[in-house]
Copies of this chain bind each other. A is one copy, B any other.
């Protein structure tokens, strides 16, 4: 990793904005964290303004998120749909963890930069939800008790994002449940009571 000054500035800006917000972050602070002389205008040899560096930070995180989504490996559809589903849900949680900076930027600055909302929504959420709907429809073709598939999808997506955001805001997962246990419980909820044999989980 070459780590150019420009990249160190982006790293510093991301870190500070995540912690203190855009309004609470100073160019001097960014310079200092990037290893430049604080108060010198060296920052401005790389970015024209504080707003510009924010947009660059945001774009970089958006690109990273897109790449993470493309690299999404679909879990193999095994004989047991619950197993496949659990694995898929765990991947989703892992994906959310990987794009954490993007989510944090959105959560913090969607008031000051309203265009973030549209961008993230169309790039990740709409597209991601559409894909997820396909997966759910494929993995659970005729599951009973799911007479509103769209609402079911909303529940699953909400559960995953809620788990992630609770962990983020409160510093610990809801009820102290780790991701694997959470995914298992959610998958069990979706697939319903064991279909043929006795309970597989134990």
CA distance A145 to B108 in the complex (A): 38
CA distance A186 to B20 in the complex (A): 36
Residue in B24, B148, B169, B186 whose CB lies within 8 Å of A24 = B24
Q: Which of A32-40, A56-64, A175-183 touches B?
A: A175-183
Chain B residue numbers with a CB within 8 Å of A181 are 148, 151
What interface size band does chain A fall in?
Answer: 35 or more
A187 to chain B, nearest CB (A): 10
A22 to chain B, nearest CB (A): 7
CA distance A149 to B177 in the complex (A): 11
Q: Which residue of B lies closest to A173 (CB)?
A: B154
CA distance A153 to B157 in the complex (A): 16
CA distance A4 to B168 in the complex (A): 37
Contact B202 A155 (CB under 8 A): no
The answer, yes or no, to whether A152 is at the interface (CB within 8 Å) is: yes
State the main secondary structure of chain A at its contact with B.
Answer: helix
Contact A151 B177 (CB under 8 A): yes
CA distance A173 to B148 in the complex (A): 16
Cβ proximity bits A17-29 to B, threshold 8 Å, 1 near / 0 not: 0111111110000
Interface residues of A (CB under 8 A from B): 18-25, 106-112, 117, 120-121, 125, 129, 144-148, 150-155, 157-163, 165-166, 169-171, 173-175, 177, 181-182, 184-186, 188-190, 192-194, 198-199, 201-202
Q: List 19 A-B contacts (CB under 8 A).
A: A21-B24, A21-B111, A22-B23, A23-B24, A23-B25, A145-B194, A148-B181, A152-B189, A153-B175, A155-B159, A155-B185, A157-B162, A157-B166, A158-B166, A158-B174, A160-B162, A162-B162, A189-B190, A193-B199
Given contacts A21-B109, A145-B199, A150-B177, 12 further A-B contacts (CB under 8 A): A22-B23, A24-B112, A107-B108, A121-B171, A147-B201, A148-B181, A148-B201, A151-B175, A151-B177, A162-B163, A192-B193, A198-B202
